[in-house]
A = this chain, B = another copy of it.
């Protein structure tokens, strides 16, 4: 079996740096395709293709405005990624490390400390 399609879910769609870059630009507001082409320095067809992938996973919405197509960010599609990775923050955040120390101490106390102290 090959790798899952880029359109399979947000995780796969966003694995491509250019697509993250597109979302980053769209975070600043609605944009027509050509704006993205200029900002990213990519060929127009490639941008349209990336946008298609992002559309298929729901990360962007489109709206027709004259002969332009305005793309808009739909960040909610990224929530599953945030929800997943959020749980790992504790592994590098000092704040959580400090919390872990406290929890560890509480655990020590709770455990029938028949050894006095």
Which B residues are in CB contact (< 8 Å) with A111?
A: none
| Interface residues in A, total, Cβ within 8 A | 29
In the complex, what's the smallest C-beta–C-beta distance from A95 to chain B, in angstroms? 13
A101 within 8 A of B: no
Number of copies: 2
Which B residues are in CB contact (< 8 Å) with A78?
A: 85, 88, 91
Which B residues are in CB contact (< 8 Å) with A84?
A: 20
A40 within 8 A of B: no
Q: Which of A16-32 contact B (CB under 8 A)?
A: 16-17, 20, 23, 27
Residues 4-19 of A, flagged 1 when their CB comes within 8 A of B and 0 if not, give: 1010000110111100
Contact of A85 among B16, B81, B91 (CB under 8 A): B81
A90 within 8 A of B: yes
A3 within 8 A of B: yes
Q: Which of A73-114 contact B (CB under 8 A)?
A: 73-76, 78-79, 81-82, 84-92
- Nearest residue (CB) in B for A86 is B82
Contact yes or no, B88 A27, CB < 8 A: yes
Contact yes or no, A87 B27, CB < 8 A: yes
